[in-house]
Amino acid sequence: MKKIEAIIRSSKFEQVKEALSEKEINFFTFFEVKGYGHQKGSSMAYRGAIYDQGYIGRTKLEILVSENFVEAAIDAIMTAANTGEKGDGLIYVSSLDEIVNIRTALKNSESINH
Amino acid sequence: MNDALVQAQEALALAKEAKFIANNMWLLVATVLVFMMHLGFATLEAGFVQKKNVVNILFKNGMIIAIGILTYYLMGFNLMYPGENEGGFFGFAGFGLTPPENGMTPAYADYTYWTDFIFQAMFAATCCTIVSGAVAERIKLVPFLIFCILFVSISYPITGMWKWGAGWLDARGFYDFAGSTIVHSVGGWGALAGIILLGARKGKYTKQGIKPIPGHSMPLATMGVFLLWFGWFGFNGGSVLSADPELVSLVFVTTTLAAAAGAIGAFFISYIMFKSFDLSMILNGILGGLVGITAGADSVSVLSAVLIGFIAGMLIPLSVSFFDRLKLDDPVGATSVHLTCGIWGTLAVGIFGQFDDPGTGLFMTQLIGVLAIGAFTFTFAFIVFFILKVSVGIRVNEQEELTGLDLGEHQSLAYA
């Protein structure tokens, strides 16, 4: 079992969701996140001064999959979230020890449908 | 023949009474409109501060109107309209309200004594509300309220008397129809004294330049400005002090044209200066136009009203930049709106005013009025703030400023 975390442009969220759905991945968690890095924050204007907002807003997905879905998921995100501009985001994958479905008590790969 | 005469006299008396009722009614409607301006100030100021300071700014606005009305009843009204010492600097007709014998009849005015009081009382708190916005997000609550009590019950009525109470400026021919100077720049001078002694909010002026601290709700600020514009029909329209059809309708036209022109003036200058479409600037521009036309709303041509408003709007971005350059931090732009445009509007009467008998040197008279009231008010406010600063302190500590005054002063949150 793997956990795929992907930080993407919020504007690409719907497209990524559809692309994952086409690969039968219909179950994930997502968050509105703030980040800071090479890009600096977004440029804002208020009362005569231009300033750095201090952060960039992004959406982060957290997807739990079986090993054989990992490639498909990464592929779907890479295609749907790519604009070619700086700031398209990152995907990182880590291994999981255990997953438990609270309602069914099923464990690991059986607990998720993908 | 005799009967006909009697009937005619009765008809005339009825017509006079009807006119008295109409005049009085309009003044009361105008009073309610001016009251609405306090909601406008409250929403505008709330919108322009950070969300951690909203309870504090609303608390101040609630207390200011209460203090303003009560002190005006206790002494302000009789300091501002002493009915004695005409042409002088100071008069006082005693504490409380005492209606004169003819106070409820046309012999007193086109309205009753009660109407007179309540209309003027609604104006009074405005001068403190203006200060409240400028000193927001860092001033201690109780010292600020002490300042308000002294400012609204002593300073405002004394300088108001100089013109509206038939004092020395009135005798010199100074003209300020509804208070560009007497109300707005008075508030602006108080605000200026406050922000000089308080210092800027933490993090506003850094080595890297100005770091704006955006207001938390532009919809609230916008609502506030439209409520103020709405209330201004009463502020200026009521200042005709009767329901005179021609004058009241003229004042409605000049007032609203100046507000519209103020937005356009601020739009162009802020775009030229900052290359951005800044909502806060056109909101201030509308208010600048309104403050600007207030001194001459009944005595300038329609075209002049547009020009006065337009120039007031253009002054807003320039003035905001000017105060920022001096590192005088004003979160809501009160000094630019009320002080800069209040001075402009008062001087504009000396340029555009149309009077049957234009006194020679009206512009100089206007300038003298602006400077005299400015000098008195600024000195008064500065001394009061200074004494408070060296005795109890006027600024919250750094930790409280960072956490927000809502938790620091009130232990509560606006958005729980």
Of the residues A40, A43, A46, A47, the best mutation for testing chain B's interface (the one with the most B CB atoms within 10 Å of its CB) is: A47
Indicate whether B254 pLDDT > 70.
yes
B31 touches chain A (CB under 8 A): no
Q: Position of tokens 């400077």?
A: B371
Measured between CA atoms, how close is A20 to chain B, in angstroms? 37
Measured between CA atoms, how close is A18 to chain B, in angstroms? 34
Query: Is the CB of A45 less than 8 angstroms away from the CB of B273?
Result: no
Contact B261, B310 (CB under 8 A): yes
pLDDT in tens, B351-372: 999 987 656 689 999 999 999 9
Hey, what are A2's tokens? 């793997």
Hey, what are A6's tokens? 């992907």
pLDDT of residue A86: 86
Measured between CA atoms, how close is B333 to chain A, in angstroms? 9
Domain ranges of chain A: 2-111
Of all residues in chain B, the percent with pLDDT exceeding 90 is 94
**Distance, CA of B204 to CA of B198 (rounded, Å):** 13
pLDDT of residue B358: 59
Domain ranges of chain B: 24-410
pLDDT in tens, A23-40: 999 889 999 999 887 777
Hey, what are B45's tokens? 């100021």
Contact B38, B61 (CB under 8 A): yes
Assigned fold of A2-111: Alpha-Beta Plaits (3.30.70)
How far is CA B121 from each of CA B69, B115, B140, B165, B238, rounded to the nearest angstrom?
Answer: 5, 10, 26, 14, 13
**Distance, CA of B390 to CA of B3 (rounded, Å):** 77
**Chain B residue with minimum CA distance to A45:** B276
Of all residues in chain B, the percent with pLDDT exceeding 70 is 99
Query: Is the CB of B274 less than 8 angstroms away from the CB of A45?
Result: yes
**Distance, CA of B95 to CA of B103 (rounded, Å):** 17
Confidence of residue B208 (pLDDT cuts 50, 70, 90): confident
B210 touches chain A (CB under 8 A): yes
pLDDT of residue B149: 97
- Looking at per-residue pLDDT, the higher value among B99 and A39 belongs to B99
Of the residues B208, B278, B326, the best mutation for testing chain A's interface (the one with the most A CB atoms within 10 Å of its CB) is: B278
Query: Is the CB of A47 less than 8 angstroms away from the CB of B209?
Result: no
Confidence of residue A13 (pLDDT cuts 50, 70, 90): very high
Mean pLDDT, residues A84-108 taken together: 91
pLDDT of residue B1: 61
3-class DSSP state of A86: coil
Contact B167, B404 (CB under 8 A): no
- ipTM of model: 0.72
B154 φ, ψ (degrees, to nearest 5): -120, -60
A60 φ, ψ (degrees, to nearest 5): -115, 130
Q: Which residues are within 8 A (CB) of B88 and not within 5 positions of it... i.e. 6 or more apart? A: B167, B168
pLDDT averaged over every residue in chain B: 96
**Distance, CA of B170 to CA of B113 (rounded, Å):** 22
Mean pLDDT, residues B156-160 taken together: 97
A43 touches chain B (CB under 8 A): no
Instruction: For residue A13, give the H/E element and its range.
Output: helix A13-22
Residues of B in contact with A50 (CB under 8 A): 274, 276
H/E/C letters for each residue in chain B? CHHHHHHHHHHHHHHHHHHHHHHHHHHHHHHHHHHHHHHHHHHHHHHHCCHHHHHHHHHHHHHHHHHHHHHHHHHHHHHHCCCCCCCCCCCCCCCCCCCCCCCCCCCCCCCCHHHHHHHHHHHHCHHHHHHHHHCCCCECHHHHHHHHHHHHHHHHHHHHHHHCCCCHHHHCCCCCCCCHHHHHHHHHHHHHHHHHHHCCCCCCEECCEECCCCCCCHHHHHHHHHHHHHHHHHHHHHHHCCCCHHHHHHHHHHHHHHHHHHHHHHHHHHHHHHCCCCHHHHHHHHHHHHHHHHCCCCCCCHHHHHHHHHHHHHHHHHHHHHHHHCCCCCCCCHHHHHHHHHHHHHHHHHHHCCCCCCCCCHHHHHHHHHHHHHHHHHHHHHHHHHHHHHHCCCECCHHHHHHCHHHHHHCCCCCC
Query: Is the CB of B211 less than 8 angstroms away from the CB of A46?
Result: no
pLDDT of residue B84: 83
Query: Is the CB of B214 less than 8 angstroms away from the CB of A45?
Result: no
From the options 1.10.3430.10, 3.30.2010.10, 3.30.70.100, 3.60.15.10, give the CATH code of B24-410: 1.10.3430.10
Provide the Cα torsion B350, B354, B360, B364; round to 10°. -10
Q: Which residues are within 8 A (CB) of B101 and not within 5 positions of it... i.e. 6 or more apart? A: none
Indicate whether B169 pLDDT > 70.
yes
pLDDT of residue B322: 96
Mean pLDDT, residues A36-52 taken together: 80
B330 touches chain A (CB under 8 A): no
Confidence of residue B147 (pLDDT cuts 50, 70, 90): very high
Indicate whether A42 pLDDT > 90.
no
Query: Is the CB of A47 less than 8 angstroms away from the CB of B320?
Result: yes
B203 touches chain A (CB under 8 A): no
